Structure 1
Amino acid sequence: MAAGFGAPLEAFLRHLALGRSRSEHTVRAYRSDLVAFLSSATADGASALEDLDLGMLRRWLGKQNAAGLSRATLARRTAALRAFSAWAVREGLLEADPATRLAAPRRGKHLPDVLHRDQMERALDSLTAASEDGGPVAVRDLALVELLYATGVRVGELVGLDVDDVDLGRRTVTVLGKGNKQRTVPFGVPAAGALSRWLACRHALAGEGSGAALFLGVRGRRLGQRQARVVVDRTLEALGDTSARGPHALRHTAATHLLDGGADLRSVQEVLGHASLATTQLYTHVSVERLRKSYLASHPRA
């Protein structure tokens, strides 16, 4: 990447993090996308922002498409290019925006993987059994999965929780979501029990770097998103009868089970922290699809 791109890129990323309150995950993804594009533009002969043009943008995205990247990834990379060039125009670094005519591929519509209730129960039963004879890590893993399923929080929200964010008396957790928006999410008796057990033995992993973090890694520091994913992936893989993986599968599952149980869409939107009701409506499609499959499998005249 040409040296002339370094300072504008860092300024834009600071704008995302501080001015737009974008998550660390989003900033990291945009950095990766833009470094890759600017390196490609450098190979095309560009050395400063004013050298960028629509052709460079399209050629780079075309290469990504030819490499087989998903439409969701291409859409995100297009969004990164548009956001960067629009910011550069506002800052007076570009006279014209080369990305105004850049078309973004539509994201493919697909139903998220969700676990059936019996699968979720088996997963939690397995973790409960492991925690009875295991050490503090096994107790932590149970509390982690119970809380993810009980609340539907994002993995970044989960690992960002502090001990004081949990109110065991009211069975609620205070979550800092996207855009630094705070919400209070309830959880049930099983999650409360698992959290109580974890808090009782948290000191076994705690160290100087623990701070107020609710979930800790084996070295005593705040548990990271990657570590949390490993816990969930290992738990779901052990079931042997689902392709669902990762903490987001538990978020999908929590939302679907809430709707299946009769929760209204607005309440589920509030629990999940969705800015738009349209995002939450995806889960109604999941529930309807599962109802259709159940009907076809069960009704004698289906």
Structure 2
Amino acid sequence: MNIKEAYDDYIMQLKVIENKFLNTIESYQRNLNVYLKYLKDHGITDMEQIHVQIVENFLMMYMDTHSAASGNQMLSCIKGFHAYTVLNHPTIKDPAVSIRGFQQSKHLPVYCTKQDLETLFASFDQSDKGIYEKTILEVLYGCGLRVSELCTLTTNQIHYDQKILRIHGKGDKERIVPMADVCINQMKLYQDLVRRQWLTNRTALFFINAKGKACSRQYVHTLIKRKVRECGLDPRISAHSLRHSFATHLLEGESDLRIVQELLGHSDIQTTQIYTHIQNQRLTKAYDTYFNGVSKTKEDN
């Protein structure tokens, strides 16, 4: 079977049958195009020509310039591509089925302290742009959203009376995220004073720019880099750092890891377990507080 035909069939599967998000499909396409170019450069044009050593050689080359996380994303795309092809063409062997993922470090991603966030939120003025941009960051942090979820947030997903957002995350899975009063107040301020005057068409998108167009992911990333630089904060802080900050502060406030998993929309608890060291620190502190108190009582007696 021709590789290009197999690729086209798989992308159609993702779009039509599995109904993947556009961002997910684009990510698969980017990764698979790199893989397919490698195959083409090595004179491989048919699926039957691909064997395990070829896939492993490609991954070794790819890992020279990419992290373990990127390598695992690439491998996931390759596995999905081959598994789908084999499912529909049983005579073709799956060259990726036995390949294992790459070991990732368990370090906690960069996150903001509460003081960092106070500095960040206090840096906005009361102009239309200031209110708009502050609301973006308040929702990103206060609700632990992914940037893609923020940019596609619609007005009918927002329930002020119930203080919740209904978020459609990865795999089109819905989750309920609570909103704090400070976040609600900021959203209403933006909606009443800014969005109302920027609304030039009947879009349901909550975040729109001054031209009435959708807020882009690139705008959000650029905004955060600019504000972090202006406030003199850690330059490594990114949009995803706000999501990590949300999870970290919840755990520091004694939330359960399973609750954080639900609020972040992680399908696998292992993804959330990068934060377990926070729980361990809390348990150690509780242990020391209790048993040191017991020892002190015994000494007093």
Counting only pairs closer than 5 Å after superposition, residues 190-269 of structure 1 correspond to structure 2 as 190-200=182-192, 201-208=194-201, 211-269=203-261
Listed one character per residue, the Cα deviations across residues 33-55 of structure 1 (whole Å, up to 9, x for unaligned) are: 21111121112111222222223
Corresponding residue pairs, total: 284
Matches of 1:13 and 1:163, distance apart in 2 = 30
**Corresponding residue number in structure 2 for 1:160:** 152
| Equivalent of residue 47 in structure 2, options 35, 39, 49 | 49
Once residues 183 and 78 of structure 2 are traced to their aligned partners in structure 1, the CA distance between those partners, rounded to angstroms, is 42
Looking at structure 1, the residues matched to 174 and 32 of structure 2 have their Cα atoms a distance apart, in angstroms, of 30
Kindly state the Cα deviation for residue 122 of structure 1 after the two structures are TM-superposed.
0.9
Instruction: Provide the rounded CA distance (Å) in 1 between the counterparts of 2:157 and 2:28.
Output: 30
Q: Counterpart of 1:298?
A: none
Please give the secondary structure, in 2, of the residue aligned with 1:174. Answer: strand
Question: What amino acid maps onto 2:157 in structure 1?
Answer: D
Q: Given residue 71 of structure 2, which amino acid in structure 1 is its aligned partner?
A: L
Computed over aligned residues only, the root mean square deviation of the Cα atoms, in angstroms, reads: 2.4
Aligned residues of 1:274 and 1:280 also touching (Cα < 8 A)? yes
CA distance in 2 between counterparts of 1:120 and 1:291 reads 26
1:50-65 equivalences in 2 (<5 Å) = 50-65=48-63
| TM superposition shift of 1:196 | 0.9
In the aligned structure 1, how far is the partner of 2:80 from the partner of 2:186?
43
TM-score calculated relative to the size of structure 1: 0.86
Cα deviation 1:218-255 (Å, max 9, x = unaligned): 33111122212222222223232324422211110011
CA–CA separation in structure 2 for the residues paired with 1:276 and 1:101 = 21
1:78 and 2:70 aligned: no
| Superposed structure 1 runs of 4+ greater than 6 Å apart | 289-292
| Inter-partner Cα distance in structure 2 for 1:291 and 1:240 | 33
Give the secondary structure class of the aligned counterpart of 2:14: helix
Query: Are 2:198 and 2:211, in contact at CA under 8 Å, matched by a contact in 1?
Result: yes
Aligned residue runs from structure 1 range 263-278, under 5 A: 263-278=255-270
Structure with larger Rg: 2
Distance (whole Å) between structure 2 residues aligned to residue 227 and residue 81 of structure 1? 30
SS of structure 2 residue aligned to 1:238:
helix
- Checking the alignment, whether the CA contact within 8 Å between 1:112 and 1:286 is kept in structure 2 is no
2:111 aligns to what SS in structure 1?
coil
Structure-2-length-normalised TM-score: 0.86
Structure 1: which 5+ runs fail to align? Answer: 293-302
The answer to whether the Cα contact below 8 Å between 2:47 and 2:92 also exists between their aligned partners in 1 is: no
Report matched runs for 1:1-302 at 5 Å: 4-66=2-64, 68-92=65-89, 95-127=92-124, 130=125, 132=126, 134=127, 136-200=128-192, 201-208=194-201, 211-286=203-278
Instruction: Quote the Cα distance in structure 2 between the aligned partners of 1:46 and 1:93.
Output: 20
The amino acid that maps onto 1:202 is: R
Distance 2:58 2:227 in 1: 39
Q: Please say if residues 49 and 93 of structure 1, whose CA atoms lie closer than 8 Å, have aligned partners that are also in contact.
A: no
Distance 1:51 1:281 in 2: 40
